[in-house]
Amino acid sequence: MRRLLFLLALLLPLALFARPAQAAEHSPVELGDLYLALGDSLATGFETAGNADGQPGYPVFLHQTLLAADLTLDYANLGMDGESAASMLLPGGQLERAEALIAQERTQGRRIALVTLSIGGNDIFQQLLLTSDPDATERAFVRLRANLEAILGRLRAALGADTPLLVMSYYNPYPGLVLPGDEAPRADLLVPRLNTLIAELAAAHGAGLVDVYTPFLGREAELTFVRIPYRPLFEDLFTNYDFHPRLAGHLLIAERFALAQGLPVAQAHVALLARN
């Protein structure tokens, strides 16, 4: 009898450690009905014509991961190609449509399980490519702060305090690239600053920050369509400097969002990566 009690004492901690979370400890995602994706061309899966691969953006793969984890959620993607924080706030724009969808779901007795957001990149990358004027860059960051503050505030108000809202940081598509008129790589300075702003405002509005910047470091040629080593800027600019992710990049972004919710990447993603 003593030996049996001794063995039970040894095994009990292991059983407690290995036991999955009980059903009573539901996450907000488990208790919802719809995964809502918002954002820019990263959410839609757009690439320039020379690189178009016909593959969707990361939200589709994230939804697959949710389904693989037995989270039978419906899916809606309101993302728009070329969307900026400024255009997202326009009357009748993406944010208003998101608010209407959230309200409609609530009226039908359903709730949003998860919202993902990729926004702000176009506001700053326009400055990256179009001007080296530091004053114009400062004005762009001031506008972005105000617009992103409004977007996150309105989303949080529409969703309530408990719905997971995940905002991604941006990878640097042009590491080390010195543009004409610059003394230092402009993207290396602007992208971390953009991500600091996103992180600050996400924290202020109870949104989770999904780090996409770090896992892309050193893998830009593998995960995006940017040609590294760089070609001359005048040589097929849209194809060689297309900052959108390849399939592998979208799968990695989806994985980062999944891990932020404690979910493993779907095995289907692993198979896709092995073939591409």
**Which tens digits make up the pLDDT trace of 185-243?**
989 999 999 999 999 999 999 999 999 999 999 999 999 999 999 988 888 988 999 99
Say what the pLDDT of residue 160 is.
95
Q: Which helix (H) or strand (E) holds 167?
A: strand 165-168
**CATH code at 238?**
3.40.50.1110
* pLDDT value at 269 more than 90: no
Where helices occur in 20-161 by DSSP H, the ranges are 41-44, 58-68, 85-88, 94-107, 121-130, 134-159
How far is residue 39's CA from residue 167's CA, in Å, rounded to a whole number? 10
Q: Which two tokens stand for residue 3?
A: 């030996």
**Residue pair 56/95 in contact by the 8 Å Cβ criterion:** no
CA distances from 262 to 21, 47, 77, 106, 258 (A): 12, 30, 22, 26, 6
**Domain assignment of residue 4, yes or no:** no
Say what the pLDDT of residue 128 is.
67
- DSSP one-letter code for 245: B
How far is residue 263's CA from residue 253's CA, in Å, rounded to a whole number? 13
Q: How do residues 68-124 score in pLDDT, each as one tens digit?
A: 888 889 999 999 999 999 999 999 999 999 999 999 999 999 999 999 999 999 998
**Domain count across the chain:** 1
**Domain assignment of residue 40, yes or no:** yes
Q: How do residues 150-192 score in pLDDT, each as one tens digit?
A: 999 999 999 999 999 999 999 999 999 988 778 889 899 999 9
**Domain assignment of residue 107, yes or no:** yes
**Domain assignment of residue 139, yes or no:** yes
**Domain assignment of residue 22, yes or no:** no
**Domain assignment of residue 17, yes or no:** no
**Residue in the structure block whose two tokens are 């996409």:** 212
**Domain assignment of residue 46, yes or no:** yes
How far is residue 147's CA from residue 182's CA, in Å, rounded to a whole number? 28
**Domain assignment of residue 165, yes or no:** yes
Domain that holds residue 260: 27-275
Say what the pLDDT of residue 125 is.
82
**Residue pair 262/71 in contact by the 8 Å Cβ criterion:** no
**Residue pair 124/181 in contact by the 8 Å Cβ criterion:** no
